[in-house]
């Protein structure tokens, strides 16, 4: 992992983002994931994972300095955003964003005044970043990565206007929710679903933003990288763990008794 400079600046400089979604509530899982070669962020999932606020804070702290801890909140409500950032998250992921107005509100919620309206209380965040509070206050507006997820028909329709919001860093195609929205659940490589996913990539790049998506296996992941995606989420920790266990057990020849 390249630890020089903040994750947002490294993305802007051309580094490709690669990391897992973490839904298991464990600081050990986040720490282990963050130390893996080639992983430069961990996506701590409060939307679908069974992760409470205190555990999420510990997971953020355990990965900080190894890979960038990004926290996915359940929605774009400003108080949820404040909680995620105040635990020291280096980035925020917001699902189901459908309009430019929603994206603008979220962008303002991550910023301290006068640029935005984030409430002031960075005691834990500054400690997690390992810097004094005044320095955190100066750096946070510039260093926090904002990932906006496009996952609905309305979001697809408005993807370009959402990508045009200045403080959005990554426009993320939520492949599985898009497939559900288009009536083909899970079929992320069906032509019309694939076209929708690629349209998010095009909207992001048109406005100078990074394009992200998810790929549950490395073959699809390589395809997405070859298609020009700059930010790739792997399968969840639970999927990776159960897949590895299933492969191990299937490879055994257990003697019969």
User: What dihedral do alpha carbons 123, 5, 38, 42 form, nearest 10°?
Assistant: 20
Q: What is the CA radius of gyration of the chain?
A: 18
Number of Cβ within 10 Å of residue 231's Cβ equals 26
Name every residue whose Cβ is closer than 8 Å to that of residue 87 and which is 6 or more positions away in sequence.
Answer: 53, 56, 57, 60, 71, 124, 125, 128
Q: Can you tell me whether residue 218 is helix, strand or coil?
A: helix
Instruction: State the catalytic residue, choosing from 28, 48, 78, 205.
Output: 48
Q: Are 214 and 175 in contact (CB under 8 A)?
A: yes
Backbone phi, psi, residue 43, to 5°: -105, 100
CB hemisphere CA count around 165 (13 angstroms): 25
Spatial CA neighbour of 133 closest among 74, 88, 81: 88
205 is known as an active-site residue: no
Burial class (CB in 10 A: 0-12, 13-18, 19+), 173: buried
Q: Which residues are catalytic?
A: 48
């Amino acid at each position: 992992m390249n630890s020089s400079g903040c994750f947002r600046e490294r993305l802007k400089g051309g580094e490709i983002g690669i990391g897992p979604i973490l839904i298991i509530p464990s600081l050990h899982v986040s720490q282990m994931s963050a130390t893996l070669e080639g992983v430069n962020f961990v996506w701590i999932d409060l939307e679908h994972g069974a992760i409470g606020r205190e555990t999420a804070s510990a997971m953020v702290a355990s990965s900080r300095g190894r890979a960038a801890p990004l926290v996915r909140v359940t929605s774009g409500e400003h108080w949820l955003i404040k909680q995620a950032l105040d635990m020291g998250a280096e980035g925020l992921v917001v699902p189901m964003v459908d309009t430019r107005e929603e994206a603008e509100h979220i962008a303002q919620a991550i910023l301290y005044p006068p640029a935005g309206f984030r409430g002031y209380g960075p005691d834990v965040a500054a400690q997690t970043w390992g810097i004094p509070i005044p320095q955190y206050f100066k750096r946070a507006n510039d260093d926090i990565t904002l990932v906006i997820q496009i996952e609905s028909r309305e979001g697809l329709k408005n993807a370009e206007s959402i990508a045009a919001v200045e403080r959005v860093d990554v426009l993320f195609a939520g492949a599985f929710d898009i497939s559900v929205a288009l009536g083909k659940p899970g079929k992320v490589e069906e032509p019309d679903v694939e076209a929708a996913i690629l349209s998010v990539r095009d909207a992001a790049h048109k406005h100078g933003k990074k394009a992200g998506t998810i790929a549950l296996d490395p073959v699809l992941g390589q395809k997405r990288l070859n298609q020009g995606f700059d930010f790739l989420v792997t399968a969840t920790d639970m999927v990776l763990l159960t897949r590895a266990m299933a492969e191990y057990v299937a490879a055994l020849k257990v003697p019969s008794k």
